Amino acid sequence: MTEDDPRKLEFQAIQFLLKPIVRFCLRRAHSIQDFMEAAKIVFVDVAAEELARGKERVNVSRLSVLTGLYRKDVTRIYKEQQTGVSEPQSVLGRVIGQWRHDKRFINKSGQPRVLSLKGEKSEFRRLVQTISKNINPGTILFELERMGSIERTPNGVKLVRQMPGFGSNPRKGFELLSRDIQTLVDAVQENLLSKVRPSNLHIRTEYDNIAKEHLPEIRRWLIDEGKVFHRKTREYLSRFDKDINPELDETTLGGGRVVVNAFSFTTDASEQGEGQE
């Protein structure tokens, strides 16, 4: 392969993508065997998703050809993963987002209203059904209560936490990380290879000689400003969402997807030994 061969460039890209994952494995005492088993599972899982997305039949033979794995490995993994894994966290986030921005569920000042709970025609049931009529409102209510996102009042249920959290559930945190990584990869890949204009937002700001005593103050500032930025972003995007604004022109085609992500990392790099290039 030549230096500018697309396959070589893609292979190098895979190495770059794997670096933080391998670093995580090494720091958490996971061996190459653990990594390989996880990679096999993910290869089969994603291959099945891609075949299904293309409306093609999913079977062991096709998965084996697509992934390059032995049939015995595919059979073992595919049969175990056949039922799939649900993502209740994303559903909960959509319910909260609908509650915060849909004019049917906010008051005159733009704040989420207290929603009635009782009966088949309760406002909370109606809220959940705007997301999906196949979701049990009782399940959503239980999960939101468990996370501390809502509280019951004499008049119904009140939203007290604007975004679902998962501090007590690390798995949900890593699921969100996975989605974040996928979105970032898609955005950068489109910027570099498709050259779509305008391009996707991809900005990094880094200072490496900050006075250590100010790091806690900086962390708090970044969190506060990040919340403000995302609140403004949600308010802006909600104006164009057909689920939240049913009054939008019926001839307007929906289905567009916009993802905006933000994170910060503040640390003493000399002590952490990040080893980042």
Sequence spans of domains, the chain: 6-80, 88-159, 203-268
pLDDT confidence of residue 166 = 57
Q: How far is Cα 180 from Cα 18, in angstroms, rounded to an integer?
A: 15
Give me the numbers of helices (H) and strands (E) for the chain, helices first please.
Answer: 10, 2
Lowest mean pLDDT among 32-41, 76-85, 90-99, 234-243: 76-85
pLDDT confidence of residue 90 = 61
- Which residues have C-beta within 8 Å of that of residue 178, sequence separation ≥ 6? none
Does a cis peptide bond (omega within 30 degrees of 0) precede residue 88?
no
- The pLDDT confidence band at residue 105, using thresholds 50, 70 and 90, is very high
Instruction: Specify the higher pLDDT residue, 273 or 238.
Output: 238
Looking at every residue in the chain, the average pLDDT score rounds to 86
Q: Which two tokens stand for residue 54?
A: 């293309």
Alpha-carbon distances, residue 187 vs 49, 201, 247, 272 (angstroms): 20, 8, 31, 29
pLDDT confidence of residue 164 = 55
- Give pLDDT tens digits for 111-166: 999 999 998 899 999 999 998 888 899 999 998 888 788 999 999 999 987 665 55
SS3 percent helix, strand, coil of the chain, rounded to 5, is 55, 5, 40
Give burial (CB, 10 Å; 0-12/13-18/19+) of 99.
buried
Q: How far is Cα 63 from Cα 43, in angstroms, rounded to an integer?
A: 9
- The pLDDT confidence band at residue 277, using thresholds 50, 70 and 90, is very low
Q: Does the predicted model carry a pTM greater than 0.75? A: no
Lowest mean pLDDT among 72-81, 184-193, 214-223, 254-263: 72-81
Q: How far is Cα 231 from Cα 72, in angstroms, rounded to an integer?
A: 49
Q: Which residue type is seen at 27?
A: R
Lowest mean pLDDT among 4-8, 20-24, 211-215: 4-8
Q: Which two tokens stand for residue 241?
A: 């969402």
Q: How far is Cα 49 from Cα 145, in angstroms, rounded to an integer?
A: 32
Mean pLDDT, rounded, for 173-185: 88
- Which residues have C-beta within 8 Å of that of residue 275, sequence separation ≥ 6? 23
Contact 235, 111 (CB under 8 A): no
Highest mean pLDDT among 31-35, 195-199, 226-230: 226-230
